[in-house]
Chains A and B, each alone.
Chain A
Amino acid sequence: MTRGSLQLRLTAALVVVVAIGLAALALAMHDAAEAAIRGQHDRALLGRARALAALVEYDEAYEFELAGAVAAGLGTADIYFEVWDPDHRVIARSPSLGAGDLPRPTGAYLDVTLPDGRDGRLVVQRFPAFTEHADEPPTGLVTLVLAEDVVARDGSLATVRRWSWTLGGVTLALVALVTALTVRRGLRPLARLAGAIDAIDPAKPGARLPADARPAELDVVARKLDELLTRLDASVARERRFTADVSHELRTPLAGLRTLLDVTARRERTGDDYRAALTEAGGIVVRLGALVDDLLQLARLDAGHVPVARAPVALRALVDACWAPHADAAAARGLRFDNRVADDVVVDTDRDKLRVVIANLLGNAAEYTEDGGWIAADASDALLDVTDSGPPIPPADLERIFERLWRAEAARTGGVHAGIGLSLARTLCEALGYALTAATLDGGAVRFRITARGRSASPG
């Protein structure tokens, strides 16, 4: 299951972070600019109010020099002002105000709606009136209110806002684009790695990922993949070898069978000839069948489909039963068999599986022991020992004989090959909780030993 695109997620995360940062920056800059613009505007307003205040004079009565205001450019239609004496009587009001009044807030500044309907800003000045001639200056404060439209100021504010957002937006878009490209570029080795993996042909062993210019993070993954490939190669090679060996193991008797049948059928023969040929063919088929059974049993054991059903088993009788099929052939080769298992030895085990194990061990001994030798079964030192008089197995081969269809180098050891029996015996032992080991004893005898796991085989 895929969980989104790494590229998309990285890009989105980076863009969101940058967007938040940019927005914060834009807001801060905008706020600072707005505060500066508003402050500047208010100071300008205050300056004009002070200029107007200078026109208020007390000389027995409050006076306001309107002509001076007009002369100073403060009497235009855009500017509204009104002046009150301490007793709240209007001293003067701007011509633009007509008969109306301006509000007199308690604070210094106020946002208002001008009489002409536009947004405006209002400043209040409370001051003692300028007096030059009066002997007795008034004690109260004159109140002057000046209001002005804020069109120009709001225009500046809007410009600042527009620029803030535009610049922020453009920067964000650029950042998103660059981030997406960088991330894609950064992830390109991943795509290359995927391509290299795609290009590996499962049928051809030995394929490895190219080692060129991998970033460190990917190098770990690629190396792990290479290790996996190596392990897979080894396992595939093992499987192939096993398949080839199985095919050899089946082909050879099949070739014997076919040639026997071909040759027999080539001409008219006596009844005895046919009988002999059929008996021989039957023998080959039985051995082929046994081999197929062994292979099947191994496959089932590999798949873990074989349940173990334990019951008490009399070991001596089982050993005798397993030897019976080999007795005649062994006797013909001068082999002596000695079943030294005591009558009262009872093992709690899966009878069918243990029988296959013992049958394989005895069959192996019967086949490979030198003519005139001996074979013995004994249960005194381990669960069971099957010992034969040799020839000895070279130490290097003691483990390998348990490999499936392993063959000793023909030229070196006289072509001993393990077939499937010992491998099956060991696998079955493992399923039963036993260990099966082989040892060459002093004097060249070969001993196969079954031990219950956990108990170690005593040496010698």
Chain B
Amino acid sequence: MRVLVVEDYAPLATSLARGLREEGYAVDVSGDGEEGLWFARQNPYDVIVLDLMLPKLDGRELLRRLRAEGNTVHVLILTALDAVADRVAGLDLGADDYLVKPFAFDELLARLRVQVRRAYASVDTTLRIADLEVDTRRRTARRGGVVIALSAREYALLEYLAHRAGEVVTRTELWEHVYDFAAEPGSNVLDVYVGYLRRKLDDGHAIKLIHTRRGQGYVLGEPA
């Protein structure tokens, strides 16, 4: 899942990015409103974590412009403005959630999971494909009841594929949702990770779940 953090207080932005990356999110960080808006226009983020009082372009204005352009990306406002009027105004501008600073990092993670579930229209925190279970809360995967040890990056790949189980996911989409600007470049990085994931998921199982559609992308699911 790819997250954009727009926050001008550098210590907070840095810690957020680090924590989210460690949880397997692809994270881009912007320190002002104008850059944040540009980022949001360029990339299909799953969630934007948005501060309100921002240099150059106010967070509310950023959100208003995004919505005016028809961008439906899920936005979680993260601000020190705690008055009811501020919350109402933020939500009415089209924000999906509102979290007041200071906050517990665990709560932010839970709320991000809510936004991701909503983005892919699932209410269950556990995604099930055949005998594969992806627990988005614990960020773990099991196949046939056996826990599969995954790196954060592998899990991120799997979760995105699981959210779109049965659909063809293009390599571009995977790239955009699982990697951030800070990720190492390289055309075959994705294939390498999918290879790792396939080995961990399908080795020793009669039914393969990860399928390559040549020239299109990947599908997670039982073979058709």
Contacts and interface: CB of A to CB of B under 8 A. Distances in A.
A259 B80 contact: no
A118 interface: no
A248 B9 contact: no
A259 B16 contact: yes
Contact of A263 (B8, B78, B105): B105
B54 A410 contact: yes
A102 B106 CA distance: 129
B180 interface: no
A257 B19 contact: no
Contact of B105 (A244, A252, A258): A258
Given A244-B83, A251-B80, A415-B53, A267 B22 contact: yes
Nearest to A263: B19
B55 interface: yes
Interface in B151-186: none
A415 B32 contact: yes
B12, B33, B78, B108: most-surrounded residue (chain A CB, <10 A): B12
Contacts of A251: 80, 82, 100-102
B102 to A, nearest CB: 4
A252 B33 contact: no
Given A251-B80, A252-B12, A280-B11, A262 B106 contact: yes
Contacts of B16: 259, 263
A412 to B, nearest CB: 9
A247 interface: yes
Contacts of A407: 53
Bin chain B's interface residue count.
Answer: 20 to 34
A241 to B, nearest CB: 10
A410 B15 contact: no
A410 B15 CA distance: 24
B56 interface: yes
Interface string A253-280: 1111111101110110000000000001
Interface in B90-112: 100-106, 108
A132 to B, nearest CB: 125
A256 B12 contact: yes
Contacts of A98: none
B53 A248 contact: yes
B67 interface: no
B9 A258 contact: no
A409 B101 CA distance: 21
Contacts of A258: 102-105
Contacts, number: 90
Contacts of B12: 252, 255-256, 259-260
B80 A247 contact: yes
B190 interface: no
A267 B32 CA distance: 30
B56 A259 contact: no
Interface string B5-17: 0001101100110
A284 interface: yes
Given A247-B80, A414-B55, A260 B102 contact: no
Interface residues of A, number: 28
B35 interface: no
B9 A256 contact: yes
Contacts of A256: 9, 11-12, 15
B11 A284 contact: yes
B145 to A, nearest CB: 26
B57 interface: yes
A411 interface: yes
B54 A247 contact: no
B19 A410 contact: no
A410 B79 CA distance: 15
B80 A248 contact: yes
Contacts of B102: 251, 254-255, 257-259
B61 interface: yes
B15 A415 contact: no
B58 interface: yes
B43 to A, nearest CB: 23
Contacts of A417: 53
A260 B11 contact: yes
Contact of A266 (B56, B61, B100, B105): B105
Nearest to A240: B83
A264 B55 CA distance: 28
B54 A415 contact: yes
A410 B11 contact: no
B148 interface: no
Given A256-B12, A262-B19, A411 B101 contact: no
B118 interface: no
Interface centre among A255, A280, A407, A415 (most CB of B within 10 A): A255
Contacts of B58: 409-411
A414 B56 contact: yes
A258 B104 CA distance: 7
Contacts of A248: 53, 80-81
A247 B56 contact: no
B9 A410 contact: no
A415 B53 CA distance: 8
A260 B14 CA distance: 8
Contact of A259 (B19, B55, B83, B100): B19
28 contacts: A244-B81, A251-B80, A251-B100, A251-B101, A251-B102, A252-B101, A253-B9, A253-B11, A256-B9, A257-B11, A258-B103, A259-B105, A259-B108, A262-B15, A262-B104, A263-B15, A263-B16, A264-B15, A410-B33, A410-B54, A410-B55, A410-B58, A411-B33, A411-B57, A411-B58, A411-B61, A414-B55, A415-B54
Interface of B: 8-9, 11-12, 15-16, 18-19, 22, 32-33, 53-58, 61, 78, 80-83, 100-106, 108
Interface of A: 244, 247-248, 251-260, 262-264, 266-267, 280, 283-284, 407, 409-411, 414-415, 417
In the complex, the 9 A-B pairs of residues with the closest C-beta atoms, listed nearest first: A415-B55, A263-B19, A255-B101, A262-B105, A251-B80, A256-B12, A255-B102, A256-B11, A248-B80
